[in-house]
Amino acid sequence: MTAGVASLPLADQAAIVRKVMRFDAFTPDNDPYGEHDFGAFEHKGQKFFWKIDYYAPNMAHGSDDPADPAQTIRVLTIMFADEY
């Protein structure tokens, strides 16, 4: 999570992480490729985003084949929408 999210009270951080874990509001509009690697939601009137990035094992660049776990390290980031 970003420093902004990490600065929230622990109870809010836990609630936000639960919302990410339970997120299932994928539609053809917000997930046109069916990758389920981005989501947006609200918590206490504030908008949050989460996204998954796919890196090569050395973390120096994107993965050559994001579908191959041997070639990919996935990084989940949770942020305030205005931090995107």
pLDDT at 82: 96
Taking phi over 0 as left and psi of -120 to 50 as alpha, with beta for the rest, 36 belongs to left
Q: How confident is the model at residue 32 (pLDDT cuts 50, 70, 90)?
A: very high
The mean per-residue pLDDT over the stretch 4-13 comes to 98
DSSP-derived letter for residue 47 is E
Distances in Å between the alpha carbon of 54 and those of 7, 30, 40? 26, 19, 19
- How many domains are there within the chain? 1
CB atoms inside a 10 Å sphere around CB 3: 8
Q: What is residue 72's predicted lDDT score, i.e. its pLDDT? A: 97
Domain of residue 24: give its range.
3-83
pLDDT of residue 16: 98
Query: How large is the average pLDDT for residues 3-17?
Result: 98
**pLDDT, average across residues 4-33:** 96
